[in-house]
Amino acid sequence: MGVEGIGARVARKEDKRFLTGKGRYTDDMSVPGMKYAIFVRSPYAHAKIRSIDATAAKAMPGVVGVLDGKQLLADGIGNLICGWMIHSKDGSPMKMGAWRPLAHETVRYVGDAVAIVVADSIAEAKDAAEAVVVDYQELPVVTDATKALEQGQPQLHPEAPNNLIFDWQIGDPAATDKAIAAAAHVTEITIHNNRLSPNPMEPRATLGIYDGGDEHYTCYTTSQNPHVARLVMSAFYNVAPENKLRVIAPDVGGGFGSKIYIYPEEIVCLWASKRTGVPVKWTSDRTEAFLTDAHGRDHLSKVKMAFDANNRIIGLKVDTVANLGAYMSLFSSAVPTYLYATLLSGQYDIPAIHANVRTVYTNTAPVDAYRGAGRPEATYLLERTMETAARELGVSPAELRRINFIRSFPHQTPVIMNYDAGDYDASLDAAMQASDWNGFAARKAEAARRGMKRGIGMSCYIEACGIAPSAAVGSLGAGVGLWESAEVRVNAVGTIEVLTGSHSHGQGHETTFAQLVADRFGVPIDSVNIVHGDTDKVQMGMGTYGSRSGAVGMSAVVKALDKVEAKAKKIAAHLMEADESDIVIENGELKVAGTDKTVPWFQMALAAYTAHNLPPGMEPGLKEGAFYDPANFTFPAGCYICEVEVDPETGVTKIIQFVAADDFGNIINPMIVEGQVHGGLAQGIGQALLENVHYDPENGQLLTASYMDYAMPRADDLPSFKVSTSNTPCPNNPLGIKGCGEAGAIGSPPALINAITDAIGNNRLTMPATPQKVWAAAHAAN
Amino acid sequence: MYETHYHRASSIQDAVKLRQAAGEGKYLSGGMTLIPTMKQRLAAPTDLVDVRQVPEMKGIGVSGRTVRIGAATTHFEVASSAELAAVCPAISGLASHIGDPHVRHMGTIGGSIANNDPAADYPSAMLALDATIITDRREIAAGDFFTGLFETALEDGELVTAITFEAPAKAGYQKFANPASRYAMTGVFVVRRDNGDVRVAVTGAGSNGVFRHKGMEAALSANWSPDALVNVTVDASDLLSDIHADASYRANLVKVMAKRAMAAA
């Protein structure tokens, strides 16, 4: 692998920049004449707008302009859309209500944008925003999805009676019902997956610049996928044609899904820049982030799992209600359907599955993908059900899982997915050994002597990464293809630029993508630059989410490297008067195998550009591009084991140890993979123990709008993690890699909740397992 | 933040004068609550009179068993004073667990008690220690000082300059931190004096702010031992309920924290 090649534990190239404050984020961007935007936002969760009067605001000091939704509509700017069409089981298309970038008729959640104020300073813009008089007529509010489906509840969108967006199903209802009827045992459980706020360290920001000279727009934005942003803003929002719109996502400080989507602010700032004639910058404050960043999860599911007399699962029935908030965000429809219900087979051979999913509008912030996106919901549901079943059946949780593991591949599940490879026993064995599972009873007894309740829980997760085969997702309703592009440019002196449509916002692409090149050509990674995040530099790309950058983005780089290698070998063969099939590339040199003839890499590159002595007919230069469309999803899987102690007096849960045994396929940089797992575990533990978005059900006010009330995990909430990998290469991409970005957040919540419920002997516990809830559950009868 | 005028006072007299001259003025003594509130535009003082550098309001003095802490003394200074720890380690420990290092180097004891956040730590110590709050114009017993949520006996423009108390024979403090804010969701300060007097003050839990729990005081007066609390009832009806903890859970925490404060005393 070499010291910097594939598999090497290389320190991140980008960290010097980030750790010394030299990162360049959207809010760091300044251009001459730039002004500042503040959005006037609805203080009500549901109201009619009678009028908007900006007369006083426009007269305030420093104010450049105040614009509202009527003007936006008059200029032909379109509504925000959801880009994945889902049909209900009756064949009708999903019922998408209008999401206006600036509401001028109705506001539907606290934080809904109503007007933009542009001023010389943020303070002046805030002063003027307070002077914008919006006459609201308050309407009744509903925040709970199940309640919103009932008759007589407030209606959010006329297009969606009873707030139902779609009523979708997957699997075989008849076969599943039959299995349940014939079962020796049926485990029934209700599973709530709590709503989360994504909380990237860098809040959203955008800088819209309109150049009247050539009618061109530039949009700096905190995006995980700048090309998708350009595509959507051009094709659907009518901001500008693609050739007149450049989108730049510079350094981005975390996304976790929340920066995939197009929000009102990017569109409105671009439009406002044209309207006011000045560049317009907006940066979210933390409370705005809590109010308006797309939230994650918020599912309520009823589950029936049927077993035969040998404890084999014979059927699984799931009925889920998913809260999508006030509007359908860009990929919101895919999350509780194809990213969720297709994973309900887990690691288990289940002959019959049926899942029904209803998605619902409520007076809350839009909900979309958040780290894991549907897969954490599936895993939590399945793994809590398995643990509950094991307790009911009197079987050890490990044994029940082993009885039902899939062991032959490829495996076609009843819910679309076709698993290509895996070894679930290996992860389970590794986790049980690392956690000293068999020694638990003694540890529990020792804890009991100290008055503490000790528990252990496991979770065997599977997820689907590397989204996704374009034709397959197209047939399921996706509005885009999910391939990736790459271009490899070898400069005249042999240094290399890799342009990728993937976008790094914490994943370490500048290092791992360079490792691919170092591995292939034996050049130092410092001679390789990774270029991303700018639609003027990279032609097209689909961005980074769903743990796809390795499996899809790197595969595109590999394809481009193949082409570069082939041409480089031809040039070298010509220079050394050898056959190109005899050329090997090692340590930065092109050699004729079996001889001492070599051409250094830089000399070959120079020859490509001087073009004095190239093979007849060969074009000068050395630059190759490739698009890679994956053949299948990839299927990372693993086993997590968590051991806790609960203080029965206070209900405080202390995590004693957390073991993660993952199968990510081949690994490019183990250190970065461990970092991704650590971060994912922290977020999963945050969901399980601490985090919860809480709306007041009466008036729809967000009660967790700051860190005073939204409990983010801190270092002292987390143990030192024991992580390991057992790598079954993925057969469907050239590198054999699966993806590791979300696993930690997917697998950890059920392991932790299973451990707590084991400790307290009460299975009725919802996330987040706050001290109050655990204390109450520990003192209640099961 | 709205526009405001910042003044740095050089003396107590100067501070009071500056405050009187201001329109809607506020004393600033660390600003750990006031500044974030202003940044959210929920407070709009025309003038801020910073008392943190007033020499007479700084420092800790211990004379025999009498402790005097200047109002502008930071939590860090309280937490790290060897003199204070020698006579009343419970208050040192309390200060060492307020907020985070940044807060402890900026926030002051005077700022904390004048603000009287129902989830602040210091009010429980003041009440249990029967401290005297010294202002620019008078002395107020802690029992009379804390009058409700964010309410005190301070008059308009009155400045807390110091607090003083007699070090007790025994004292202990334990808090249960709110998982989000890490403020006290319940904190209990227990004190026993040489003459046998016992005080138990509870912060973070009362619906009217810090309070003394007479039932626990009676039980501990009779028997200074954590076990004495077993049969004490904590009435949940006067306790706070919010999204983090309801009153019944807080009632449980009052008892558990009291027991643990006793163990630490």
- Here the CATH number for the domain that contains residue A580 is 3.30.365.10
User: What is the DSSP annotation of chain B?
Assistant: ----EEEE-SSHHHHHHHHHHSSSEEEESS-TTHHHHHHTTS---SEEEE-TT-GGG--EEEETTEEEEETT-BHHHHHH-HHHHHH-HHHHHHHHTSS-HHHHHH-BHHHHHHHT-TT-SHHHHHHHTT-EEEESS-EEEHHHHEEETTEESPPTT--EEEEEEEPPSEEEEEEEE-TTT-SEEEEEEEEE-TTS-EEEEEESSBTTSSEE-HHHHHHHHH--SGGGGTT----GGGB---SS--HHHHHHHHHHHHHHHHHH-
Domain harbouring A218, CATH code: 3.90.1170.50
Within this chain, do residues B179 and B101 fall inside the same structural domain, yes or no?
no
**Last residue of one domain, picked from the residues A596, A628, A660:** A628
Strand partners, A356: A169, A319
**Last residue of one domain, picked from the residues B167, B182, B200:** B167
Nearest to A79 by CA among A292, A246, A250, A232: A232
- Phi-psi bin for A21: left (phi > 0), alpha (psi -120 to 50), beta? left
pLDDT of B68-106, one tens digit each? 999 999 999 999 999 999 999 999 999 999 999 999 999
Q: Do the domain assignments include residue A6?
A: no
Q: A768 preceded by cis ω (within 30°)? A: yes
Within this chain, do residues A121 and A213 fall inside the same structural domain, yes or no?
yes
What range does the domain containing A243 cover? 31-139+201-254+259-292
Does pTM surpass 0.90?
Answer: yes
* C-alpha dihedral sign at A240, A241, A243, A245: positive
Share the mean pLDDT of chain A: 97
Within this chain, do residues A119 and A230 fall inside the same structural domain, yes or no?
yes
With an 8 Å Cβ cutoff, are B180 and A707 in contact? yes
Which of B2, B40, B256 lies closest to A649 in CB terms? B256
Within this chain, do residues B159 and B184 fall inside the same structural domain, yes or no?
no
Q: Is the interface score ipTM higher than 0.85? A: yes
Residues 6+ apart with CB under 8 A from A617: none
Task: Report residue B257 as tokens.
Answer: 């924290």
Give which of B37, B181, B230 to mutate to test A binding, by max A Cβ within 10 Å.
B181
Nearest to A295 by CA among A249, A329, A254, A244: A329
Q: Do the domain assignments include residue A450?
A: yes
Q: Do the domain assignments include residue A719?
A: yes
Residues 6+ apart with CB under 8 A from B111: B28, B29, B30, B31, B32, B33, B34, B71
Instruction: Kindly indicate the confidence band of residue A43, based on its pLDDT and cuts at 50, 70 and 90.
Output: very high
pLDDT of A116-144, one tens digit each? 999 999 999 999 999 999 999 999 999 99
Q: Report yes or no: A709 at the B interface, CB cutoff 8 Å.
A: yes
- What's the number of domains chain A is made of? 3
Within this chain, do residues A676 and A544 fall inside the same structural domain, yes or no?
no
Within this chain, do residues A675 and A563 fall inside the same structural domain, yes or no?
no
Within this chain, do residues A671 and A733 fall inside the same structural domain, yes or no?
yes
B13 CB-side CA count, 13 A: 0
- What does the buried/exposed string (b/e) look like for A72-97 if buried means 16 or more CB atoms within 10 Å of the residue's CB? bbeeebbbbbbbbebebeeeeebbbb
Q: Report yes or no: B177 at the A interface, CB cutoff 8 Å.
A: no
Residues of A in contact with B1 (CB under 8 A): 123
Within this chain, do residues B81 and B211 fall inside the same structural domain, yes or no?
no
Residues 6+ apart with CB under 8 A from A610: A492
- What's the number of domains chain B is made of? 2
Within this chain, do residues B194 and B131 fall inside the same structural domain, yes or no?
no
Q: Do the domain assignments include residue A517?
A: yes
- CA dist list (Å): B240 to B98, B213, B233, B260: 21, 15, 17, 21
pLDDT of A781 reads 61
**Last residue of one domain, picked from the residues B132, B150, B167:** B167
* C-alpha dihedral sign at A120, A122, A125, A127: negative
Measured distance CA(B173)–CA(B175) in Å, rounded: 7
Measured distance CA(A752)–CA(A759) in Å, rounded: 11
User: Is it the case that residue A3 has pLDDT exceeding 90?
Assistant: no
- C-alpha angle with apex A703: A697 to A707, nearest 5 degrees? 155
Q: Do the domain assignments include residue A171?
A: no
Q: Is A470 exposed, middle or buried (CB count within 10 Å of its CB: 0-12, 13-18, 19+)?
A: middle
Do the Cβ atoms of B205 and B252 come closer than 8 Å? Answer: no
Q: Do the domain assignments include residue A521?
A: yes
**Last residue of one domain, picked from the residues A267, A292, A317:** A292
Q: Do the domain assignments include residue A186?
A: no
Distance of residue B166 Cα from the nearest chain A Cα, in angstroms: 33
Residues of A in contact with B41 (CB under 8 A): 126, 130
Neighbours of A309 (CB within 10 A): 8
Task: Report residue B183 as tokens.
Answer: 């403020």
Q: Do the domain assignments include residue A346?
A: yes
A484 CB-side CA count, 13 A: 31
Within this chain, do residues A679 and A760 fall inside the same structural domain, yes or no?
yes
pLDDT of B226-241, one tens digit each? 999 999 999 999 999 9
What range does the domain containing B156 cover? 1-167
Which of B40, B179, B249 lies closest to A775 in CB terms? B249
Mean pLDDT calculated for residue range A84-103: 97
The two beta strands, A598-600 and A589-592, are antiparallel
- C-alpha angle with apex A349: A347 to A352, nearest 5 degrees? 120
The two beta strands, A185-193 and A313-325, are unpaired
Q: How many beta-carbon pairs below 8 A join chains A and B?
A: 46
Measured distance CA(A130)–CA(A54) in Å, rounded: 10
Q: Report yes or no: B78 at the A interface, CB cutoff 8 Å.
A: no
Within this chain, do residues B188 and B86 fall inside the same structural domain, yes or no?
no
Q: Report yes or no: A772 at the B interface, CB cutoff 8 Å.
A: yes
With an 8 Å Cβ cutoff, are A710 and B40 in contact? no
Residues of B in contact with A698 (CB under 8 A): none
Q: What residue has token string 């044994």?
A: A399
Within this chain, do residues A38 and A111 fall inside the same structural domain, yes or no?
yes
User: Is it the case that residue A231 has pLDDT exceeding 60?
Assistant: yes
Residue window 619-658, chain A: list those with CB within 8 Å of chain B: 649-651
Within this chain, do residues A379 and A419 fall inside the same structural domain, yes or no?
yes
**Last residue of one domain, picked from the residues B150, B167, B184:** B167
Instruction: Kindly indicate the confidence band of residue A649, based on its pLDDT and cuts at 50, 70 and 90.
Output: very high
| SS3 of residue A571 by DSSP | helix
Rounded to 5 degrees, what are φ and ψ at A121?
-140, 165
Within this chain, do residues B154 and B175 fall inside the same structural domain, yes or no?
no
User: Is it the case that residue B18 has pLDDT exceeding 90?
Assistant: yes
Within this chain, do residues A513 and A407 fall inside the same structural domain, yes or no?
no
Nearest to A513 by CA among A20, A22, A19, A13: A13
Q: Report yes or no: A780 at the B interface, CB cutoff 8 Å.
A: no
Report the interhelical angle of A601-610 vs A555-576 (nearest 10°). Answer: 80
| SS3 of residue A468 by DSSP | coil
Within this chain, do residues A439 and A571 fall inside the same structural domain, yes or no?
no
Which of A694, A712, A776 lies closest to B243 in CB terms? A694
User: Is it the case that residue A2 has pLDDT exceeding 80?
Assistant: no
pLDDT of A726 reads 87
Within this chain, do residues A282 and A328 fall inside the same structural domain, yes or no?
no
Residues of B in contact with A775 (CB under 8 A): 249, 252
Within this chain, do residues A583 and A536 fall inside the same structural domain, yes or no?
yes
- CA dist list (Å): A348 to A213, A288, A380, A413, A638: 61, 42, 14, 9, 13
Residues of B in contact with A650 (CB under 8 A): 176, 252-253, 256
Measured distance CA(A164)–CA(A359) in Å, rounded: 6
Residues 6+ apart with CB under 8 A from A332: A82, A294, A324, A325, A359, A366, A367, A368, A369
Within this chain, do residues B162 and B230 fall inside the same structural domain, yes or no?
no
Q: Which H/E stretch holds residue A216?
A: strand A216-221
With an 8 Å Cβ cutoff, are A710 and B243 in contact? no
Within this chain, do residues B162 and B179 fall inside the same structural domain, yes or no?
no
Residue of B nearest to A128 (CA): B2
Mean pLDDT calculated for residue range A653-670: 97
With an 8 Å Cβ cutoff, are A690 and B180 in contact? yes
Q: What residue has token string 């069409």?
A: A85
Domain harbouring B99, CATH code: 3.30.465.10
With an 8 Å Cβ cutoff, are A711 and B179 in contact? yes
Domain harbouring B224, CATH code: 3.30.390.50
Within this chain, do residues B1 and B112 fall inside the same structural domain, yes or no?
yes
Within this chain, do residues B152 and B218 fall inside the same structural domain, yes or no?
no
Q: Report yes or no: B1 at the A interface, CB cutoff 8 Å.
A: yes
Q: Report yes or no: B245 at the A interface, CB cutoff 8 Å.
A: yes
Measured distance CA(A419)–CA(A636) in Å, rounded: 10
Give which of A708, A716, A718, A774 to mutate to test B binding, by max B Cβ within 10 Å.
A708
Within this chain, do residues B50 and B94 fall inside the same structural domain, yes or no?
yes
Q: Report yes or no: A710 at the B interface, CB cutoff 8 Å.
A: yes
Mean pLDDT calculated for residue range A258-268: 97
**Last residue of one domain, picked from the residues A628, A648, A664:** A628
- Quick one: what percent of chain A has pLDDT higher than 70? 99
Within this chain, do residues B81 and B61 fall inside the same structural domain, yes or no?
yes
